[in-house]
Structure 1
Amino acid sequence: MTDYYPRTFFIAGLFLAFFGGLLIFAGIMADAPPLPAAYMQLALSVVSFCMSYLYPQFKQKDERMKEIRKQGVYYSYFAILGYLFLFLLLLQVELISWDALLILNVLSALAISTVFVSWVILAKRY
């Protein structure tokens, strides 16, 4: 029996990346910053691409995958702390002047992407 989920995740990732790129392109063409929703759209496309790679391994639910999930969240925690420190530093020295909604959307997108990308890296390593 053929497992269609990796292909489905990949196609969903393509659609999400296309629509996220379209939102960014529309913002650039309007001489305005991209919509904050575009960052979340791109983060969801990263999640879909990562799950297309990880699904065959994650469906086994063995000890290796539990360890990959645990280590991925552990490493992502420190990366998210680094993102927070970097944004605080950039805001404090006034190199960026973003509003709160944009910062929350970018941090959320970075946090979501970091967890799934770290799972892919750890799945290749273990």
Structure 2
Amino acid sequence: MKRVITSIRPIIAVPLDMESNNLLQGGWIDESVKFRWVKVSDQVSKYLNENLFYYKLNSLCDSFIGDFEEDDLKGEKLLICQKYLHEFQEYTSNTEVKVFLSTLISFVQSAIERNVSVFFIL
């Protein structure tokens, strides 16, 4: 098993089952972990950082999201996150960021429906 933060980052991941959810929550990954993920490109990440996206998301969800950390959002925090993602998507004119946010919004909706976490592995 490999540590998530040393293998595939930065990504945002949504586990497909509870076992995978538990492994990701512990920061581990191997071939048994099943998840959907989106890689955050350098350009998108730079834009998000410059526009305080992670900082604002952190403040809204009251959880720590920062460099070299894994954090998961679930339940009510995801509903808050989903609202913020829609607002940020309306605010930005950057097409690449809009596409990234559309993917992320679908991940969040999927996680809410299945009652699993969304992991920000930055």
- The answer to whether the superposition gives a TM-score over 0.5 is no
Higher strand share: 2
Higher helix share: 1
TM-score by length of 1: 0.30
Larger Rg: 1
